[in-house]
Amino acid sequence: MARFIFITGGVVSSLGKGLMAASLAALLQARGYRVRIRKFDPYLNVDPGTMSPYQHGEVYVTDDGAETDLDLGHYERFTGVPSRQSDNVTSGRIYQQIIAKERRGDYLGATVQVIPHVTDAIKEFARAETDDLDFVLCEIGGTVGDIESLPFMEAIRQLRNDLGRANTCFIHVTLVPYIAAAGELKTKPTQHSVRDLTSLGIQPDVLVCRCDRPLPDGERAKIALFCNVPTSAVIEALDAKSIYAVPLQYNAAGLDEAVLRSFAIEPGAMPDLSRWSRIVERLDNPEGEVTVGVVGKYVGLADAYKSLNEALVHGGIANRVKVNIRWLDAELFEQTGTDIAAELEPLHAILVPGGFGERGSEGKIKSVTFARERNVPYFGICLGMQMACIEGARNTAGIAGASTTEFGPTEEPVVGLITEWMTEEGLQKREEGGDLGGTMRLGAYNASLAGNSHVSTIYGSTEIWERHRHRYEVNVHYREALEKGGMVFSGMSPDGELPEIVERPDHPWFIGVQFHPELKSKPFDPHPLFASFIGAAVRQSRLV
């Protein structure tokens, strides 16, 4: 039977519960254990798919088509274990399922209540598909004291009774702030947070204390005394130079040993952390650096492009260079008086990421023109590929009115709404004007690559599987015109109907992809497209 580790947070949000969970899973994995990480989100959205990136950061998509919290990206990047639909649940999804059952009469006339019906549904989710695992890590979103998270707290309290003390561990992540006027770290917020947690019937076994300086032995002992945990289970969590140094830091602080001892498991030999040591060594000792400009719509919030940011770092790891990312607001390029060349000339590569809506689109198209005409490496992802096709249609194929139906009616729909596509389950259909949530082309789909293409060389294969999240596709009826203008359709869906990749053979590095390769990149296994893209940026840096 799998053992369960429940992770809660206190004092303030954004303490890094997701990174802590991912790091702990990586440490347990390095000790030979089979792990999986799950996220419980208390908000009432069924999933984050319809939320603005400014509200909740990026939407992470799994192979099986789930739109999930960005923390699942951390989980995959640190463990290499593909996340799936069953690894993320929200209050909205729980209530949606319960209300559907009530409407069908599944409860046989019973009064449907938070306890036991909601808590039972949460427990069922936590325990599903865990028979082949050693440890299941469950991160509870939000902060102790939030009204929204109370059903989840009650559910994990019940799970300790259901599974037994020997099969459960509670980790609480708190803040130990430094008060400059007093010249010391203060433990009282942690004490109060643990008191709130114990009032819900949950006694933490391990405390992870975020602080900006080393935690003195005296404060550690004080926290242990007042919070009723062993001193060895009070874990210092300092800021790290890179998130990929966090597993090493947590191991040095004794996190994995404290967790194993809470299960009465003798830790034994040190885990093999050579993978993480190699990654950190490359990050700390680059042999050069490049600057990549990301021309996007949500550049005001780094988490909106979290996986993209990390995939670029991974490309740097593959090439032993530091990647400096310059975030550029596409709307600025649309303003009269903006010197686009001055903004883009210092860059060694340009990337236009995915997004939705018309805002900033003309600025993105102008950045494509610059990259094409100046022979600067260009990478277009999802909407970035569509903007590249529209730019090519207007400027190299002679279709002046080229546009996308996403932005309104157009006589030249180079990009249009996709209303049906094939999956392993058969033909999928969507109605224009239907629901937005969960109706995109989502999840992993295969594509066939032209054997003599740049991308087939990069992948080392002519068959690939990549993750998608989009409603609009490049119109294959414009293929002939675009190819006459120098843009080759080098990747297509197996039925030949949906363009997946375009490239310009006469350009040093110009590739657009309809999918999101950043979702599958890992520090120990950089995605080949990002490794190649940063390699092209390195070559460009030598020409500047």
Determine the number of helices (DSSP H) and then strands (DSSP E) in the chain.
18, 25
CA distance 214 to 217: 9
Examine the pLDDT at 428 and tell me if it is beyond 60: no
- Mean pLDDT across 372-400: 94
258 and 322 part of one domain? no
502 and 393 part of one domain? yes
Could you say which of 257, 279, 301 is where a domain stops? Answer: 279
273 and 342 part of one domain? no
**Cβ pair 50, 436 in contact under 8 A:** yes
For 52-61, 69-78, 386-395, 522-531, which range has the lowest pLDDT when averaged over its residues? Answer: 52-61
Q: Domain for residue 454, yes or no? A: no
Is 382 a residue of the active site?
Answer: yes
Helix, strand, coil share (%) of the chain residues, nearest 5: 40, 25, 35
pLDDT digits (tens, 9 = 90+) for 295-351: 988 887 778 899 999 999 999 999 999 999 999 998 888 887 778 888 899 999 999
241 and 380 part of one domain? no
pLDDT band at residue 430, thresholds of 50, 70 and 90? low
Give the number of domains in the chain: 2
220 and 366 part of one domain? no
Catalytically annotated residue among 382, 389, 470, 500: 382
Predicted confidence at residue 351, as pLDDT, reads 97
Higher pLDDT, 424 or 143: 143
Q: Domain for residue 440, yes or no? A: no
295 and 267 part of one domain? no
pLDDT digits (tens, 9 = 90+) for 31-85: 999 999 999 999 998 888 777 776 767 889 999 988 988 899 999 999 999 999 9
Predicted confidence at residue 421, as pLDDT, reads 43
44 and 80 part of one domain? yes
3-state SS class at 415 = strand
| Angle of helix 188-199 versus helix 217-227 axis, rounded to 10 | 20
Catalytically annotated residue among 470, 507, 516, 527: 516
pTM over 0.75: yes
pLDDT digits (tens, 9 = 90+) for 168-186: 999 999 999 999 988 899 9
Could you say which of 245, 264, 279 is where a domain stops? Answer: 279
| Phi, psi values for residue 96, rounded to 5° | -60, -45
Q: Domain for residue 118, yes or no? A: yes
DSSP code of residue 275:
H
Predicted confidence at residue 425, as pLDDT, reads 55
pLDDT band at residue 275, thresholds of 50, 70 and 90? very high
Predicted confidence at residue 435, as pLDDT, reads 47
Is 138 a residue of the active site?
Answer: no
pLDDT digits (tens, 9 = 90+) for 201-259: 999 999 999 999 999 999 999 999 999 999 999 999 999 999 999 999 999 999 999 99
257 and 324 part of one domain? no
Predicted confidence at residue 48, as pLDDT, reads 82
Catalytically annotated residue among 154, 406, 500, 518: 518
Q: Domain for residue 433, yes or no? A: no
Could you say which of 255, 279, 303 is where a domain stops? Answer: 279
290 and 266 part of one domain? no
Q: Which helix (H) or strand (E) holds 500?
A: strand 499-503
Host domain of residue 171: 3-279
By C-alpha distance, which of 299, 302, 297, 322 is closest to 312? 322
Residue in the block written with tokens 């299941």? 136
26 and 145 part of one domain? yes
CATH number at residue 61: 3.40.50.300
308 and 255 part of one domain? no
**Cβ pair 33, 49 in contact under 8 A:** no
CA distance 124 to 86: 11
Predicted confidence at residue 426, as pLDDT, reads 54
